[in-house]
Structure 1
Amino acid sequence: MPTRSVPAASALPLHIQPATEQDIPTIIGLAEATWEPTYRFIISKEQIDYMYRVIYTPASLRRQMREQHHTFLLAYVDGHAAGFASYSEKPDSIYHLNKIYVLPSHQGQGLGQHLVQAVISAVREARGLALELNVNRHNPALAFYERLGFVQHREEDIPIGPYWMNDYVLRKEL
């Protein structure tokens, strides 16, 4: 995906670019700042801590990039990392938005929408037919995704260690 600059709703300079393995410390820093505030009212602290340790170690992020072929995008506002997204291809030209997180200080300014649009553009460029994502059934972000045109496709319960994620799978046809 080419590097792109797009105007942000907040009128701050926004720049979205693909991440590399050298950006893993930046991704971890963003995850540390966003993970707990995102999930504190949805799942237990023990589950938050467990999932974070599984998903956001340097080794896990390298594995996601190398073996699971996740493409990460980093969003910079005024030259500072403010959010990230990752996506990957599934069978039948369906893509999955694996992650999208925006610093709490930058939420509500259109950055999440720009990250989703950057993923949609990349998926369309790759001739993808649809973009899916999982969202916890109690996550307020559900309304955000619906505003962007995603619709409920199915429900899915996913075991993560001793815990469960009770999700909706949302889909946007492209």
Structure 2
Amino acid sequence: MGIIYQIATHKDIKVIREIANKTWFVTYEPILGKEQPKYMFDEIYSESALLEQMQEGQTFILQYLYNEVLAFASYSLKSYEKELTYKLNKLYLDPSFQGGGYGKKLISEVEKHVKALGAKNLDLNVNRHNKAIDFYKKNGFTIIEEVDIPFGPYFMNDFIMRKVLV
């Protein structure tokens, strides 16, 4: 099918920003309006912020179909408890490719990576009004907690979802 995966480096920050820009606003403006998504995008997806995330231990994976980047995901260690847990920090797929099974394949790739590191669980945060909740449920995640996280002058009203890895 031509899908390949590559671990991103600082040289890939521009392409990560491009995919994020294609997906971020169409996802969050209907939920949060215009101001909060812009503020959050500027904080999370500036080139310096992405570089800092990489330096602090987030691993970014790019998904290619032939030579075109369709999506990216990032993960990092969440906790060293007896049940090693990783966090899926980001998963964004170019909207023109959504519904084609690429997101499911990207989650599987992340799972493969974190299982190799000893992960027992994979957690993620998702806005409580994001339609991606159904996608995550179909991929084996369940809601384990509801949280309100301060982010600058705003709050992220999220569910924490978990997939137990077997």
TM-score tier, shorter chain, comes to over 0.9
Tell me the TM-score normalized by structure 2.
0.95
1:156 to 121, 134, 147: 147
**Could you say what the CA RMSD is over the residues aligned between the two structures, in angstroms?**
0.8
Moved over 4 A (4+): none
**Amino acid across the alignment from 2:4:** H
Unaligned runs of 5+ residues in structure 1 are: 1-6, 8-12
Give CA-to-partner distance per residue, 1:90-145, whole Å, 9 cap, x none.
11211000000000111001111111111111111001110000011111000000
What secondary structure, in the 3-state scheme, does the structure 1 residue paired with 2:118 have?
A: coil
Which structure 2 residues correspond to residues 1-174 of structure 1 after superposition, within 5 A?
7=1, 13-67=2-56, 69-91=57-79, 92=81, 93-174=84-165
- Give 1:78 shift: 2.3
In percent, how many aligned pairs have the same letter?
45
- Give 1:31 shift: 1.0
Unaligned runs of 5+ residues in structure 2 are: none
Give CA-to-partner distance per residue, 1:38-67, whole Å, 9 cap, x none.
112111210010000000011100100002
Distance 2:121 2:77 in 1: 10
User: Paired residues, what number?
Assistant: 162
Distance 1:37 1:85 in 2: 18
Tell me the TM-score normalized by structure 1.
0.91
Distance 2:147 2:154 in 1: 14
**Amino acid across the alignment from 2:113:** A
